[in-house]
Copies of this chain bind each other. A is one copy, B any other.
Amino acid sequence: MSTGWQTVQAEVLRRIQNRDWPPGGLIPGEVALAREFGCARATVNRALQALADDGWLERRRRAGTRVALSPLRRAQMSVAVLRKEVEALGKTYGHRLLSRKVTGDLLSLQTLHQADGTAYGLEDREIDLTHMPAAASADFTTLSANEWLVQNAPFDHGNMSYMSEGATASDARHLDCPEGTPLLILYRETFSEAGRITRVRLAHAPGHVVRLQI
């Protein structure tokens, strides 16, 4: 069948990428497109809606549909569990709980993640026990805190930051590199409705690369 909304989407996308419809330009209305493609307006609507969701089009009632001026592309990256990240490389994942300490309502954990037995990343994590009381009694030696939280702490939102830092003494010791070695550091906070659940600093092993698809 040639009248699916996916067909319409593909053709419209082709015209955008082909600059048949230039950036910022108004494209024909839904009714006109429906007529052209020989389908119902709802089908065109579905297609344009999807393209708008992906940032290719900007739509406003009455004003019509325009090709987005700066196809503000977004890079996407999955927030993966470290175990899966390692296994995706074809390596065997392992981890060691280096320390565990409770101060007030804060549980502090230090974990070393390994790939094929060698250091992959050093994680320093704080978990708020008021929001995640179950974490106090969890056994993080078999299931890493990273994975435990993904499974047990659904979150609303969060943020991540990447930066470059020289290896601290602790980083150097556990990641087996000289102090000051440039390392890719990830800071991440995740929040639930109630407040911050956890905060983590992850020092990647030297040479680590983060890849994103556009």
Contacts and interface: CB of A to CB of B under 8 A. Distances in A.
A62 interface: no
A77 interface: yes
A184 interface: yes
B184 A70 contact: no
Q: Which 10 A-B pairs have the closest CB atoms?
A: A182-B182, A164-B164, A164-B184, A158-B214, A164-B182, A162-B210, A160-B212, A73-B79, A75-B77, A163-B209
Nearest to A188: B214
A54 B67 CA distance: 23
A75 B76 contact: yes
Contacts of A36: none
A159 to B, nearest CB: 6
Interface stretch (A111-119, A129-137, A148-156): A148-156
Nearest to A67: B154
Given A154-B19, A214-B160, A77 B74 contact: yes
16 contacts: A16-B154, A17-B156, A53-B53, A70-B150, A71-B154, A72-B80, A75-B76, A155-B214, A158-B213, A159-B211, A159-B213, A161-B211, A162-B184, A164-B165, A164-B204, A180-B182
Contact-size category for A: 35 or more
Stoichiometry, as copies per complex, reads 2
Contacts of A72: 78-80
Interface string A90-114: 0000000000000000000000000
Given A159-B213, A162-B210, A164-B164, 8 more contacts: A53-B53, A70-B150, A74-B76, A75-B76, A77-B77, A79-B214, A159-B212, A163-B207
B213 A77 contact: no
A154 B160 CA distance: 28
A60 interface: no
Contacts of A184: 162-164, 184
A7 interface: no
Given A70-B151, A74-B76, A159 B214 contact: yes
